[in-house]
Amino acid sequence: MAKTIDVIANLTGIVWQVDVAAGDRVAEDDPIITLESMKMEIPVCAPEDGEVVEILVGKDDPVEEGQVIARLSAA
Amino acid sequence: MDHEQRKAHALAMGGEKKLAQRKAAGILNARERMALLFDNGQFHEAGLFATSERPEHREKTPADAKVVGFGQIGGRNGAAVSNDLTVMGASSSTVNGRKIAYAKDIATRNGMPLVFLGESSGGRIPDNMGARGMGASAWDAHQYVRTRETPWASAVLGPCFGSSAWYTCLADFAVMRKGGTLAVASPKVTSKAIGQDISEEELGGWQMHQQYSGLIDQVVDTDEEAIEAIRTFLSYMPSNANEAPPTVGARAPATAPAKLNELVPVDRARVYNMARVIEAVVDGGSFFEMKRKFAPNLLTGLARIDGRSVGIIANNPMQKGGAVDYDACDKAISFIVLCDSFHIPIVMLVDQPGFLVGLQGERRGMPGKIMSNIQALQMASVPKISVVLRKTYGAAFVNMGGGRNSDEFALWDRAEVSFMDPGIAVGIALGVDHEKEPERYEALKAQLNADSSPYEIAGMFSAQAVIQPHETRDYIASSLAIHTRAISGGKGKRLLSVWPYR
């Protein structure tokens, strides 16, 4: 079974947009969601290459630093 | 044994079988690593005939598990200690402790860098056990003193517990080969002590260190790459603190400076990768990044501009919007200490929305860390050049070299500088709600935007220049040519050379 990778928010903010959908293939550093924080649009990126299994947040949701916002399965 | 037999025995390390196992795994042995580090594979060895002091261990401790030598690294003198894991796990003993002390002393007296090729299991149990063992092991009051007279570099090339871990943490540059481990104690000892099963990777593997501990500056795949990284690191460094760093021929940047205009979005809410910007500022291929994955919201690394060694500190908007947080302050401090200790000018590329505020930082003592960062920057006496690309807000203005915290402070013509983002200031400081009074909110924001102009700060001469993006590299190169510290032979005061870091 492919390894599951947690995508973790590295700062606190509000989800401004979700950039990918379940089933999408992503590469390391591709944006998964974009947070509005510090008056900026800041991406939370894929830590590794993989396929998006699920997105755990939606637009306008508050997100805390350290929160898992999506899961990938390793490429 | 006659002399030749003794010599052959010492050079045979832990024996054919152990050496063959390493070779099969693609791992170099202690002497192969020394040969790769030094030019032409040549080194002048000290202590080939050293062995354990304990009679029962003498036969099985060739060179007492730590090979010490001196030779040329990139055409300049250097010293090295290479741990031989095939001999009693390269464990620390009374005699090999003397060998390390000797290497440190000779490297310092003669002004040459010192390299540790680390792979050791920790203290040797018979030598270190009991009250007498501990008493003997703590006999040197200067064992872990660092005053940075010469650069130190360390490679983690296997298990590093005990001395290999300590010296890696004391070094100015640390590289780790994937598969190496660095921790206080081995997983076996740790798991036993706290009753929790922990793998070697979790405890002290490359992913842990590069992302969380910040103890490792670079991660590589092979021994060869690790040793090459050390040679490259040293190429930016002076041999010792009584010299200025070496200068090499200038190279054109990998990306044309004219591209800077498009690499940085004008809209301050949009992010971009600062690493691409650095490529349009420094000599092509010269950016030697350190701690890439640790606090990636702040980039640090050595580079060259017009052939001169520089230290780059740059906010990276792609991560956390480039906001400086606790780990970024730590990363900046250790890098400023390195630069100040060895006369390397600091170049800051600034684009930051203020310190990252929030619970996480405050719980760790963020205000204290901010002050340590500012103190380090203000105490650094090397030339400091700071260029604001797009924006710099709040107290982090100082941390990134704003005003007289640099020898030259410049801003791009479209940059903004203020106490806080105008959008936040209207809402918080002036108490105007965008929902209730949209027109007044926008009018006040426009006024604050105008007040944030680079020409305002240049008008009061708290900035020395306003430049266009494509002029950035030439401006920095021209500044470095002026701020040479020629009065002291290109050297600073090194006030940070005794600052403990990592």
What are the domain boundaries of chain A? 4-74
The per-residue pLDDT for range B72-97, each reduced to its tens digit, is: 999 999 999 999 999 999 999 999 99
When the pLDDT of each residue in chain B is averaged and rounded to a whole number, the result is 94
Whether the Cβ atoms of residue B316 and residue B349 lie closer than 8 Å to each other: no
What's the mean pLDDT in B437-458?
A: 88
User: Would you say residue B176 has pLDDT above 90?
Assistant: yes
First to last CA, chain B: 46
- What are the residue boundaries of the structural domains of chain B, listed by start? 3-236, 257-420+453-498
Please indicate whether, in this complex, the C-beta atoms of B271 and A12 are within 8 angstroms of each other: no
List residues in chain B touching A: CB distance below 8 A. Answer: 268-271, 317-321, 323, 353-354, 356, 358-360, 421, 423-424
pLDDT recorded at residue A1: 66
Q: Kindly give, in sequence order, each residue whose CB lies less than 8 Å from that of residue B169, ignoring residues fewer than 6 positions away.
A: B215, B502
User: Would you say residue B435 has pLDDT above 90?
Assistant: no
Q: How far is B277 from chain A (nearest CA, A)?
A: 17
pLDDT recorded at residue B49: 97
| Vertex B219 angle, CA B214 and B225, to 5° | 145
Second-level CATH architecture of A4-74: Beta Barrel (2.40)
Is residue B285 very low, low, confident or very high in pLDDT (cuts 50, 70, 90)? very high
What's the mean pLDDT in B37-48?
A: 98
Q: Could you give the CA distance from residue B145 to residue B148 in angstroms, rounded to a whole number?
A: 9
Q: How far is A48 from chain B (nearest CA, A)?
A: 12
What's the mean pLDDT in A51-64?
A: 96
Is residue B405 very low, low, confident or very high in pLDDT (cuts 50, 70, 90)? very high
Is residue A23 very low, low, confident or very high in pLDDT (cuts 50, 70, 90)? very high
Percent of chain B with pLDDT over 90: 82
Interface A–B counts its CB contacts (< 8 A) at: 44
pLDDT recorded at residue B501: 72
Lowest mean pLDDT among B142-146, B273-277, B278-282, B337-341: B142-146
B397 closest CA partner among B355, B335, B455? B355
* pTM of the shown model: 0.93
In the block, tokens 């440190």 appear at: B104
Question: Tell me: domain B3-236, CATH 3.90.226.10, correct?
Answer: yes
Whether the Cβ atoms of residue B290 and residue B319 lie closer than 8 Å to each other: no
Higher-confidence residue of B299 and A65: namely B299
Q: Which of B356, B359, B424 to mutate to test the interface with A (most CBs of A within 10 A)?
A: B356
Domain B257-420+453-498 belongs to what topology? 2-enoyl-CoA Hydratase; Chain A, domain 1 (3.90.226)
Residue of chain A nearest B421, judged by CA positions: A39
Q: Provide the residue type at B458 as one letter.
A: A
Q: Could you give the CA distance from residue B361 to residue B209 in angstroms, rounded to a whole number?
A: 20
